[in-house]
Amino acid sequence: MKIIFLAWGKLSRRTRDLCKELGIKPTFIPHGPPYIRSYIETKKMLYRIAPEIVLAQLPQGPLLWTLVRLKDKLNYKLIVDVHSGFLVYDNVKSLILNKPFKRYLSKCDLIIVHNESILELLPNDIKNKSIVVYDPLPKPIKVKYRPQINNYIIVPSSWAYDEPLDYILDEYFRSKSRLKLVITGNYRKRIELFRKYKERPGIIFTGHIHTDKYYMLLSQAKAVIAATTREYTMLSAAWEAIAYCKPLIISYTRTIHSILSDLPEYFKPHVKGSLEAILRKLTPPTLRDLEKRINEASKRLNSIIESQINKLKEYIGMVK
């Protein structure tokens, strides 16, 4: 069976992980707007390969339009993995590149969404051909060496503007926590924020680091803080904490709570004292209790995700 999983512009970690679960290699076309080169390369590739099934990472809207336009000519099934950014728009660019193409979802054979909250955003007439598939949990890797620091909380960050890092830092300093705070990721994306806090005691900014070093830091952390101000998003850092059975402190959203229930500790970004109160009570017994709760979440979610991926495989025809 000829199957491809296609992405334009940026290949997400979720797409890579889903491809591993399905046993296929992602097909990545890196060109950005106005996507003319992407359209030409995609058309040539599809005619050359003649796939039976095409999976696509959304957004972008023009990718969906391209695949729907060629679908009947090449007679393939079209499955799309819909990120919340295809349905909820943070800016004018996102709206222009996605909203006009939303109607083409009705032409797809199967729609995959990341969680139940995104499912609720879909028009009622296509919900009956939509399934929920959570992100596959990362597979923990063996740590070859230990970090030179100890007794720390890790904050995995992409330094995107939906991550309230200034709030986390202010709450940390007010808490007077004895644990250090390690913030990963490319701080040059928000250089003024980095400069404001870089000399403060107890804070370590790692900058961009290799995957192995990142997982080494994660595996030795006392706890993980994951934060977003966006609804409909499930954070990669949360999945990583669950995979490594690390105590998880996470920002409250309806989407996150619907998936994780009361297993992590929640704070409300921009509510003064919300995170501070949690950090003040992070004693060894509290951390052990949190770790036990996350261990329960890991077992439950692994079972759910396995079932969801098997359902996808059944649709594709990979399992009987």
pLDDT tens for 123-156 read: 899 999 999 999 999 888 877 667 778 899 999 9
pLDDT of residue 126: 94
For 21, what's the count of Cα atoms within 13 Å in the CB-facing half-sphere? 24
Looking at residue 96, its pLDDT comes to 86
3-state secondary structure of 94: helix
Task: Calculate what percentage of the chain has a pLDDT beyond 90.
Answer: 82
- The pLDDT, as a whole number, for residue 196 is 95
Dihedral in degrees, nearest 10, Cα atoms 275, 281, 284, 285: -110
Per-residue pLDDT tens over the stretch 9-44: 999 999 999 999 999 999 999 998 899 999 999 999
Average pLDDT over residues 308-320: 87
pTM reported for the whole predicted model: 0.90
Q: Indicate if the pLDDT at residue 181 is higher than 90.
A: yes
Per-residue confidence (pLDDT) for residue 46, from 0 to 100: 97
Residue 254 exposed, middle or buried by CB count within 10 Å (0-12, 13-18, 19+)? exposed
Closest CA to 62 of 43, 88, 77, 46: 43
Q: Do 234 and 210 touch, CB atoms closer than 8 A? A: no
**DSSP per-residue letters across 208-234:** S--HHHHHHHHHH-SEEEE--S-TT--
pLDDT at residue 319 in the model: 62
> For 194-215, what is the mean pLDDT?
93
| Domains, in order of start, for the chain | 3-133 (3.40.50.2000), 152-299 (3.40.50.2000)
Kindly indicate the confidence band of residue 320, based on its pLDDT and cuts at 50, 70 and 90: low
104-130 residue pLDDT tens: 999 999 999 999 999 999 989 999 999
Kindly tell me if the per-residue pLDDT of 166 is higher than 60. Answer: yes
Upper half-sphere CA count for residue 64 (Cβ side, 13 Å): 26
* Residue percentage of the chain with pLDDT more than 70: 99
Please check the confidence at residue 285 and state whether its pLDDT lies above 90: yes
